[in-house]
Amino acid sequence: MTAKIPRNFRLLEELEKGEKGLGAEACSYGLEDGEDLLMSNWNGTILGPPHSVHENRIYSVKMHCGEKYPDEPPTIQFVSQVNLPCVDPRNGMVDPKQLPCLAQWKRENTMETVLIELRR
């Protein structure tokens, strides 16, 4: 049986990776407020994929990691206007049932996992 990494340790790992730019080149993420001790609210940026209608566009998202993260997925909301099947055009919320990495969430998934899948 493997040990479960506590929520805050996991979020600190993700914060370090996001701040140092160690993740995917086309996605970045970090805390919305550096004073947020619970590390719940995050901002993310996704560069539109090449050779698509989204090429050269920059999309901003807000991510919220609840108390049960990483056992439960974060909620994701686009701040930028985007036309994707998994995004509600009225409020920018990502429908978790429409995005496979959220619908079949695994504890090993990260916010970066979600950003990369949204970029596809």
Q: Which parts of the chain fold into alpha helices (H)? A: 7-19, 100-103, 111-119
Output the six-digit token pair for 120: 């596809």
CATH C-level class of 7-119: alpha beta
φ/ψ bin of 111: left (φ > 0), alpha (ψ from -120 to 50), beta (otherwise): alpha
What letter does residue 96 receive in the DSSP assignment? Answer: G
Mean pLDDT of the chain: 92
Q: What is the pLDDT of residues 48-87, one digit of tens each?
A: 988 888 888 999 999 999 999 999 999 999 999 999 999 9
Q: What is the pLDDT of residues 77-95, one digit of tens each?
A: 999 999 999 999 999 999 9
Backbone angles phi, psi at 26, to 5 degrees: -90, 5
Output the six-digit token pair for 41: 């609210």
Say how far apart CA 42 and CA 75 lie, in whole Å: 10
Its pTM surpasses 0.85: yes
Give the model's confidence band at 25: pLDDT under 50 very low, under 70 low, under 90 confident, else very high: confident
Average pLDDT over residues 102-117: 96
